[in-house]
Amino acid sequence: MKGKLVVRVIAFIAVALLLVLIGGIGFVYLAPETATHTFLAIERKQAGLERKEIDLPDGTHYVYLEGGSGEPLMLLHGFGANKDSFARASRYLTSRYRVIVPDHIGFGESSHPPDADYSPIAQAERLHALAKALGISNVHLGGNSMGGHIAMSYAALYPAEVKSLWLLDPGGIWTAPKSELRRIIDETGQNPLIVRNEEDFAALLTMVMTKRPFIPKPIMNVMAQERIKNYELEKRIFGQITSDSIEERIKGLATPSLIVWGDQDRLINVATTEILHGLLPNSKVIIMQGIGHVPMVEMPQESADDYLRFRATLSN
């Protein structure tokens, strides 16, 4: 009798789980925009992050994520990305730091002025104004790709106010050997980072990451819309950031720096680490095996753990 009861309970649980799964799949396919916002909200909550917005005195509008307490840590996303690219790693950081992750001007939900200066220096100056508006005078900075380029520009402009740098596959070092991305652009004139349609977006995710998190196609298509709408502005921004070299501005910069690179990065050659390490005298390098251009997305906990160990050395 007990055996039959156990079988019935197991069967009931299996049916219930199947219904939940079917309902979840239906939710994703019938209401992809709502599903996308729901999943982002869950990820932010798990990370202890809250969406906020602020207008600076000059009218610049920033939307950002913030959570945790402790020393301020501002994390800067890369080209074409947005604030949620750091949400997964922030889950392991908000217990220790006050984490702020803004959408850069020109991306995400922040202002998109069509004729603004989008050079890394101009973006760094805006972020400095944002930090002041948030009551932050000294800050630890982290940045991926374009965000790393901007973080280094910030440190070069305000060296006394930047306590450390966390540089994840940063841009701005253009004397390194060509990457696959650069060869494609040079040989075809086409830029895989500029998204025209949903197919471009799917191909881009494959190029950027070797360990890509599973994203249902309907949600991926919703995510693609932000890039498609920003197509013309992103072409302009890409030209501005790739024409700016950071090398002379950071040569000899004493800011403690953790340089992290995925050895499978197809966008910026991993050999860039040697040049950057030579420019920053107080830097440490970590090469992540089997990882692409966005370590904090592909391996969020490992990336965060590496950063926590780096930060621990600063207090010794």
Q: Which one of 110, 145, 153, 257 is the catalytic residue?
A: 145
% of the chain exceeding 70 in pLDDT: 89
255 has a pLDDT exceeding 90 = yes
- Encoded amino acid at 224, one letter: A
Cβ-based burial of 59 (10 A; exposed 0-12, middle 13-18, buried ≥19): exposed
- Closest to 163 measured CA to CA, from 275, 101, 72, 250: 72
Report how far residue 241's alpha carbon sits from residue 172's, in angstroms, rounded to the nearest whole number. Answer: 8
Q: Does residue 296 lie in a domain region? A: yes
Q: Specify the pLDDT at position 215.
A: 81
Q: Which one of 77, 104, 140, 149 is the catalytic residue?
A: 77
145 is catalytic: yes
Q: Does residue 125 lie in a domain region? A: yes
- The CATH number of the domain holding residue 78 is 3.40.50.1820
% of the chain exceeding 90 in pLDDT: 82
293 is catalytic: no
Into how many domains does the chain fold?
1
Q: Does residue 13 lie in a domain region? A: no
143 has a pLDDT exceeding 90 = yes
Q: Does residue 30 lie in a domain region? A: no
Identify whether the C-beta of residue 99 lies closer than 8 Å to the C-beta of residue 67. yes
Q: Specify the pLDDT at position 213.
A: 81
Q: Does residue 42 lie in a domain region? A: no
Q: Please give the model's pTM, rounded to 2 decimal places.
A: 0.90
Q: Does residue 145 lie in a domain region? A: yes
- Reading the block at residue 228, the tokens are 């498609």
Identify whether the C-beta of residue 195 lies closer than 8 Å to the C-beta of residue 227. yes
Question: Domain range holding 91?
Answer: 51-314
Q: Does residue 172 lie in a domain region? A: yes
Q: Specify the pLDDT at position 18.
A: 36
- Encoded amino acid at 191, one letter: N
**Per-residue pLDDT tens for 53-74?**
999 999 999 999 999 999 999 9
Q: Does residue 32 lie in a domain region? A: no
